Amino acid sequence: MAEERKVDSNNKNEQLEQFRVNDQGQKMTTNQGLKVSEDEFSLKAGERGPTLMEDFHFREKMTHFDHERIPERVVHARGFAAHGEFQVYDSMKEYTKAKFLQDPSVKTPVFVRFSTVAGSRGSAETVRDVRGFATKFYTEEGNYDLVGNNIPVFFIQDAIKFPDLIHAVKPEPHNEMPQAASAHDTFWDFVANNQESAHMIMWHLSDRAIPRSFRMMEGFGVHTFRFVNDQGKAHFVKFHWKPVLGVHSLVWDEAQKISGKDPDFLRRDLWESIEMGNFPEYELGVQLLAEEDEFNFDFDILDPTKIWPEEDIPVKIIGKMTLNRNVDNVFAETEQVAFHPGHVVPGIDFSNDPLLQGRLFSYTDTQLIRLGGPNFHELPINRPVCPFHNNQRDGYGRQTINVGQVSYHKNSLAGNAPAPATEAEGGYVHYQEKVEGRKIRSRSESFKDHFSQAALFWNSMSQVEKEHIIQAFSFELGKVKSLSVRQEIVDMFAHVNVELAAAFAVQIGATPPKEGGSSVTKTSPALSQENTIKMPNTRKVGVIIGHEFNGAEVMSILAGIQAEGVQPEIVSDMLGAVKGSDGTELAVDHTFLTADPVLFDALYIIGGASESKKFHNDTIYFIKEAFSHFKPIGATHEGVKYLEVSGIVGSAGVVQGEDINEFLSTFVEAISAHRHWERQVV
């Protein structure tokens, strides 16, 4: 590795290139490099005889196979990742000396892993859950990891409760059910007994927990961190990732169906988008707070169950991240990447948030068992792009060949190298916060208001979002067998809002609260997805089409929606090509059997002149499902009759038209809106 390499977007890629192996056109060998002459038959004593111990090729192949699994992550086991780059818009020198936040011309390579939390590595992806959003910045000062989630608060306030939380949400130990779901007794028992979770639960039961795409969710550092500038002046900081496409979600019925139709839905979406050149983009935002303002709020800024409302402390957008390359090998990269909130660079420091403090221990510890020893930093995906030197030696799988006689500090024999760097030379110096106190196992009084921000969240939701939250409570608690737990949850959430608690209490056979509620009347519009960015780009439209369609018109409509960034995919009753009346041919991407309306954002029904009864029934099924999920549906030509049969003509988001241009613009507008909730009201 070159010692003084200028960091650019290819820097990490170049480093990884040294480890890539391409088997194309090569002869097969053993791991010792010996060419193998036979790979189908083990070495035997006679054609029908026993396999011989001597068969080194068999032994090596089988041994490697027997050992090829590693423990999955104890949380966030199911994940998918991509490479990209980050660029700051303007120097952040005033607030932080972090080098990657100084120069807008510098592109810092990043690796981002998205994940669900509760499910095993093979679980479905569209379950109701928090999503992990972990970013590794390969900076010239070392790796900086921003290990966040798509929800800005957390269930608990102190890391010592993390094992309890996870034991409660994971499948129950006596029967290992349910997989990747919080809708069961132990999770809700935990919630009732740990009421600091109230705010997080509001997010968990909102649409945020069923994102449409990893490309369409926010990311949050959650904790309060510190920025420190080159004068040693500190600001408290909260990190935000804002997706350029806006924040969008699935609806619950759809999410559950996708779990069966395509358990890989979110990774497929990310993978395909990057392959197509639709690179996911997120802007990095920071909320900054001067140290002097630490106590100016009605919540404790160190409490990870609290947000800093964006209307009170604005999010300053400081840069953009683009994910532009898929991994080459999921195990080598996505599975072996090791994140840690403690991987920081000069200019970024911690706060005393007790959840963060505990995380600083857990991540290295978990990598030791997961990746099998202390040298996981040497795995290609984890290596910093800058040189690293210290006196750590040996251990399983050590790759570095450290030359020389000396592996201790201080020393004279090697001129005291490697020597710690001064601050001016880039040495990391911890922010010298003054700390004093008695040793005590307790929680600050300032952490004890669990309901005000849960109420703020509720107040900020649109009517539709509120209904979704009520339905989510009704579903989750409807799966809880213990009536006492159900009642405790009703009583707990009566502290947030009485109408909310009453609305789901009746659904779950519990007694609605008579009184309660919160005195909070404030709202934070930034919390509602109703106020998000809406655009048609990268929306998938299922185009239902049969033979004998009007070639010229259909092609111009498809070209028109594609010009707006929409992605049509052709669905018909058979693979192959559908033929227009003028001889135009369209290749079919999916059949009614392999596709499903839940896999599209919208439908465009064209039909054809000679459809079978089955074509007719399948089309009606597609329309009914898409309609019930509030999706835009457009129809032209023969397609219009299906809208009529389905009884949805004139409904919100249902577009039909004779005039191509008018149809195009109304349909694209309907697609941008994403969902047409008005249907629910009628």
304 near ligand HDD (CB under 6 A): yes
Other beta carbons within 10 angstroms of residue 160's beta carbon come to 12
Please say which residue, 365 or 423, places its beta carbon nearer to ligand HDD. Answer: 365
- Report, in Å, the least distance between residue 113 CB and ligand HDD: 4
| Residue 339 found at the interface with ligand HDD (CB under 6 A) | yes
**168 binding ligand HDD? (CB under 6 A):** no
Closer to ligand HDD at the Cβ: 130 or 470? 130
Q: What is the DSSP letter of 217?
A: -
Q: Is residue 152 a contact point for ligand HDD (CB under 6 A)?
A: no
To ligand HDD, the closest distance from the beta carbon of 349 in angstroms equals 17
Q: Given the rule CB under 6 A, which of 44-52, 70-78, 183-191, 448-456 is the region that contacts ligand HDD?
A: 70-78
Beta-ladder partners of 604: 543, 634
**Of these, 88, 101, 127, 147, which contacts ligand HDD (CB under 6 A)?**
147
Q: For residues 518 and 493, is the Cβ–Cβ distance under 8 A?
A: no
* Total number of residues that touch ligand HDD (CB under 6 A): 27
Binding of residue 634 to ligand HDD (CB under 6 A): no
- Which letter does DSSP use for residue 331 in this model? I
Find the part of the chain contacting ligand HDD (CB under 6 A) among 23-31, 177-185, 353-361, 460-468: 353-361
Which of 86, 137, 138, 154 touches ligand HDD by CB under 6 A? 154
Which class for 43: exposed (0-12), middle (13-18), buried (19 or more C-beta within 10 A)? middle
Q: Quick check: helix, strand or coil at residue 297?
A: coil
169 binds ligand HDD (CB under 6 A): no
Residues belonging to the active site: 76, 149
Instruction: Give the Cα separation of 387 and 4 in Å (integer).
Output: 8
Determine, following the binding rule CB under 6 A, whether residue 113 of this chain makes contact with ligand HDD: yes
| The binder of ligand HDD chosen from 42, 120, 324, 362 (CB under 6 A) | 362
Decide: helix, strand or coil at residue 249.
strand
Q: Does 74 bind ligand HDD (CB under 6 A)?
A: yes
Distance (Å, whole) CA 606 – CA 642: 9
| Binds ligand HDD (CB under 6 A): choice among 76, 306, 343, 674 | 76
366, 474, 524, 584: which one binds ligand HDD (CB under 6 A): 366
> Are 611 and 639 a contacting pair, CB within 8 Å?
no
Nearest to 450 by CA among 197, 143, 661, 108: 197
Name the residue whose CB lies closest to ligand HDD.
Answer: 132
- Is 212 known to sit in a ligand binding site? no
Task: Using the rule CB under 6 A, give the single segment among 259-267, 281-289, 354-362, 614-622 that binds ligand HDD.
Answer: 354-362
79 is a site residue for ligand HDD (CB under 6 A): yes
What is the 3-state secondary structure of 5-33?
A: CCCCCCHHHHHHHCCCCCCCCCCCECCCC
- Residue 358 tokens read as 């505990």
Q: Which is nearer to ligand HDD, 79 or 280 (CB)?
A: 79
For 625-639, b/e burial (b = at least 16 CB within 10 A) is bbbebbbbbbbbbbb
Query: CB under 8 Å to 465, separation ≥6 — which residues?
Result: 206, 207, 528, 529, 530
Single out the residue of 12, 16, 57, 75 in contact with ligand HDD (rule: CB under 6 A). Answer: 75
Q: Which lies closer to ligand HDD via its Cβ, residue 119 or residue 304?
A: 304
To the nearest 10°, report the CA torsion of 330, 331, 332, 335: 100
Q: Hey, which residues between 435 and 464 contact ligand HDD (CB under 6 A)?
A: none
**Cβ-count burial 281-307 (b if 16+ within 10 Å, e if not):** bbbbbbbbbeeeeeeebebbbbbbbbb
Q: Is 240 in the site for ligand HDD (CB under 6 A)?
A: no
162 is in an annotated binding site: yes
Residue 128 among known ligand-binding residues: no
For residues 196 and 161, the answer to whether their CB atoms sit within 8 Å is no
Contact range with ligand HDD by CB under 6 A, out of 34-42, 147-155, 399-407, 431-439: 147-155
- Neighbouring CB atoms inside 10 A of 119's CB total 24
For residue 430, give both structure tokens: 């911890």
115 is a site residue for ligand HDD (CB under 6 A): yes
Q: Does 332 engage in binding with ligand HDD (CB under 6 A)?
A: no
Q: Is 381 among the residues that bind ligand HDD (CB under 6 A)?
A: no
Q: Is 7 in the site for ligand HDD (CB under 6 A)?
A: no
Q: Which is nearer to ligand HDD, 77 or 543 (CB)?
A: 77
Q: Which of 134, 270, 554, 635 binds ligand HDD (CB under 6 A)?
A: 134
73 part of the interface to ligand HDD, by CB under 6 A = yes
In the bound complex, what is the minimum distance in angstroms from residue 397's beta carbon to ligand HDD? 18
Distance CA 650, CA 24 (A): 57
Give residues 177-216 in contact with ligand HDD (rule: CB under 6 A): none
Minimum separation from the CB atom of position 355 to ligand HDD (A): 5
Q: How far, in Å, CA of 523 to CA of 453, rounded?
A: 10
CB of 377 to ligand HDD, least distance (A): 13
Q: How far apart are CA 170 and CA 186, in angstroms?
A: 9
In DSSP notation, 88-105 reads ESS--TTT---GGGT-TT
Per-residue binding string, ligand HDD, 210-229, x by CB under 6 A, is: ------------xx------
Would you say 359 is a known binding-site residue? yes
Question: Which of 98, 110, 127, 159 is in the footprint of ligand HDD by CB under 6 A?
Answer: 159
Q: Does 162 engage in binding with ligand HDD (CB under 6 A)?
A: yes
Q: Does 137 bind ligand HDD (CB under 6 A)?
A: no
**What b/e sequence results for 559-597 when a residue is b if at least 16 CB atoms lie within 10 Å of its CB, and e otherwise?**
ebbeebbbbbebbbbeeeebbbeeebebebebebeebbb
Nearest CA among 130, 322, 325 for reference residue 244: 322
Contacts of 151 (CB under 8 A, 6+ apart): 130, 131, 200, 203, 204, 208, 209, 220, 222
Quick one: which of 119, 132, 347, 380 contacts ligand HDD (CB under 6 A)?
Answer: 132
Tokens of 433: 């916060």
Q: Is 138 annotated as a binding residue?
A: no
Report, in Å, the least distance between residue 630 CB and ligand HDD.
Answer: 30
Instruction: Give me the half-sphere count of Cα atoms (radius 13 Å) on the Cβ side of residue 355.
Output: 23
Kindly report the length of the chain. Answer: 682
DSSP calls for 423-484: TTTT------------------GGG---SHHHHHHHHHS-HHHHHHHHHHHHHHHHT---HH
- Least Cβ distance, residue 115 to ligand HDD (angstroms): 5
Q: Is 73 annotated as a binding residue?
A: yes
Annotated binding site: 73, 113, 162, 359, 363, 370
Annotated binding site for heme: 73, 113, 162, 359, 363, 370
Q: Which residues of this protein are in contact with ligand HDD, per CB under 6 A?
A: 73-76, 79, 113, 115, 132, 134, 147-149, 154, 159, 162, 222-223, 304, 337, 339, 355, 358-359, 362-363, 366-367
